[in-house]
């Protein structure tokens, strides 16, 4: 009984979500038409550094995984207990986020330097 109720609730919720999104998008387009703006044309902002940003993020994540691998193999022995495995997982997640963040920060620094050089 409760499984059927959950399925029905999820179906109704998904339908309401899709209907609401379409309703508000239509309402936004109608408001743009009333103001004389063409709703089909949206100004796309150029993103010249998007590939640099993702590239540096992926390099950072890869470096984080390598550092975590070498750290866990160097600190922990081959026969790990459950507590040591938990610490190894923390080292992996910490390294991934630290090096991924460093990749994004370096991307920001490179973009900032380039934008400061532009007139």
In angstroms, the CA 98 to CA 101 distance is 5
Is 47 in contact with 107 (CB distance < 8 Å)? no
Instruction: Give strand ranges (E) for 2-117.
Output: none
Q: What percent of the chain has pLDDT over 90?
A: 19
Q: Which of 109, 98, 104 is nearest to 65 (CA)?
A: 98
pLDDT tens per residue across span 57-85? 999 988 988 888 888 777 766 677 777 77
Find all residues with CB under 8 Å of 29, minimum gap 6, and list them.
39
Is 61 in contact with 100 (CB distance < 8 Å)? yes
For the question of whether the overall pTM of this predicted structure is more than 0.85, the answer is no
**Whether pLDDT at 42 is above 70:** no
Compute the radius of gyration of the chain from its Cα atoms: 25
Structure tokens at 112: 């900032």
The region of weakest confidence among 36-45, 63-72, 99-108 is 36-45
* Angle at the Cα of 43 from the Cα atoms of 37 and 45, rounded to 5 degrees: 160
- Note the pLDDT of residue 77: 63
In angstroms, the CA 110 to CA 102 distance is 12
């Amino acid at each position: 009984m409760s499984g059927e109720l959950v399925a029905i609730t999820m179906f109704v919720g998904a339908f309401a979500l899709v209907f609401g999104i379409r309703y508000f998008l239509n309402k936004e387009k109608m408001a743009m038409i009333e103001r004389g703006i063409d709703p089909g044309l949206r100004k796309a902002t150029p993103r010249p550094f998007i590939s640099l940003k993702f590239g540096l993020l992926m390099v950072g994540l890869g470096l984080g995984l390598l550092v975590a691998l070498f750290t866990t193999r160097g600190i922990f022995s081959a026969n790990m207990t459950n507590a040591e495995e938990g610490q190894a997982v923390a080292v992996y997640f910490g390294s991934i986020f630290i090096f991924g963040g460093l990749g994004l920060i370096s991307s920001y620094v490179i973009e900032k330097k380039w934008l400061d050089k532009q007139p």
